Amino acid sequence: MTKTKAGNFFEDFRLGQVIRHATPRTLTVGDAALYQAIYGGRFAVQSSDRFARDVGYPEAPLDDLLVFHTVFGKTVPDISLNAVANLGYAGCRFLAPVYPGETLTAISEVIGLKENSNGKTGVVYVRSTGYKDDGTEVVDYVRWVMVNKRDAGTPAPPAHVPNVPAAVGVDVIGNAAPMLDLDGWDDDLSGSPHRFADYAVGERIDHVDGTTVEESEHQLATRLYQNTARVHFNQHTEAAGRFGRRLVYGGHVISIARSLTFNGLSNAFHVAAINGGRHVAPVFAGDTVYAWSEVLAAEELEGRPDAGALRVRTVAVKNRPCHDFPDRDATGAYDPAVVLDIDLWLLIPRR
């Protein structure tokens, strides 16, 4: 018997399978600093202990997407080591704040399977949940990923495609942020005077700035999350793959886009949920990412006079600015520059 693992292929998964993932990961201020160094995030709550305490946190929480990527990374060796591509996300809820020094673990359940028509790959649907050491759930989400088959001749299991929510209900978001002390919220220090009432449904925001992806940075970031997918690291194998080079982890693009949204959404301090997301096209080192956002909804939160929720669709593109908001055309096809289309609930303070 071999002691090494080749990862799971499509035919290794079964509906209802529950996987407890290695390895527990303690996140520290060092991880927070490295995350900030890679993406340049400037949201005040995650950047400053003093600011965070002034508005009601005990200290600066870890960035929501650092938590998401860490939990995601736990799942990769078991779910997507042999993936062709991560296809999408739905129903992601951030359930509790995570602070430096806390340890995260993850468990996934296989909720759907569907072989592709080529007989060489299939789509695996999983619901993954991240926990603190005390059992507190911090994040859960559904994702679906295209995975290679070990043997194209292996019979496929009966197809089962789960129903996934089109959006997370506004009534179940916001618990990962404490009640804000608005007297302590300083618009000068947060970077913008614009709060909940200043955003209108249908408003579009060009975030203006761009970030060029560096080969070393995207690999360093992926290792930070202990994401072992070989498509991101192994040029020896990927040289013979469909792109001929290493593929940037889709979550790296999500974090770049989130960081870019600071210019226009500076006070949107907390990602409360990811309603859905799609990696439209691959990104490679050397590409420059830009982003724009559209406000889809603005909702009051029951029992929370301190903050409202903006439903924001953020579109990331590569190698072109977003002053003209590149999007789908009349037929529904994406502009060739679009690489990411993600739908978020963001918390933002009220006055």
Tens-digit pLDDT profile for residues 290-333: 999 999 999 999 999 999 999 999 999 999 999 999 999 999 99
Q: Which of 189, 193, 176, 187 is nearest to 57 (CA)?
A: 176
pLDDT given for residue 233 in this prediction: 87
Reply yes or no on whether the pLDDT at 85 is more than 90: no
Whether 83 is covered by a domain: the verdict is yes
In a domain, 3, yes or no: no
Q: Domain tally for the chain?
A: 1
CATH number assigned to the domain comprising residue 173? 3.10.129.10
Give a yes or no: residue 2 inside a domain. no
In 3D space, the residue among 152, 153, 149, 141 whose CA is nearest the CA of residue 65 turns out to be 141
The structure's pTM equals 0.96
- CA gap 80, 283 in Å, rounded: 18
Distance CA 227, CA 68 (A): 12
Q: For residue 112, give Cα distances in angstroms to 122, 139, 315.
A: 10, 20, 27
107 pLDDT band, cuts 50/70/90, is: very high
Average pLDDT score over residue span 56-77 = 98
Query: What is the spatial distance between Cα 59 and Cα 52, in angstroms, rounded to a whole number?
Result: 6
Q: Determine the pLDDT at residue 241.
A: 86
Task: Give the pLDDT of residue 230.
Answer: 84
pLDDT digits (tens, 9 = 90+) for 41-63: 999 999 999 999 999 999 999 99
- According to DSSP, the residues that pair with 274 across neighbouring strands are 92, 344
- The values of phi and psi at residue 268, to 5°, are -80, 80
Average the pLDDT over 245-268 and give the result: 96
Q: Where are the alpha helices (DSSP H) in 142-263?
A: 187-190, 215-224, 235-238, 250-260
Please identify which residue in the block is written with the tokens 């994040």: 139
pLDDT for res 239: 92
Q: Does residue 125 carry a pLDDT above 80? A: yes
What's residue 178's pLDDT? 97
Res 20 pLDDT > 80: yes
| Model pLDDT, residue 180 | 98
- What's the gap between Cα 266 and its chain centre? 19
**What confidence tier does 83 reach under pLDDT thresholds 50, 70, 90?**
confident
For residue 167, what pLDDT band results from cuts at 50, 70 and 90?
very high
Torsion from C-alpha of 277, 283, 289, 290, nearest 10 degrees: -40
Q: Name residue, tokens 């002034």.
A: 54
pLDDT on residue 181: 98
Grade residue 339 by pLDDT with cuts at 50, 70 and 90.
very high
Residue 158 within a domain: no
Q: Is the pLDDT of residue 67 over 80?
A: yes
Residues spanned by the domain of 108: 10-153+164-180+187-349
Q: Could you tell me if residue 256 is inside a domain?
A: yes
Q: Is residue 5 part of a domain?
A: no
Is residue 235 included in any domain, yes or no? Answer: yes
> pLDDT band for position 104 (50/70/90)?
very high
Asked whether residue 86 carries a pLDDT value surpassing 90, the answer given is no
231 — pLDDT class (breaks 50, 70, 90): confident
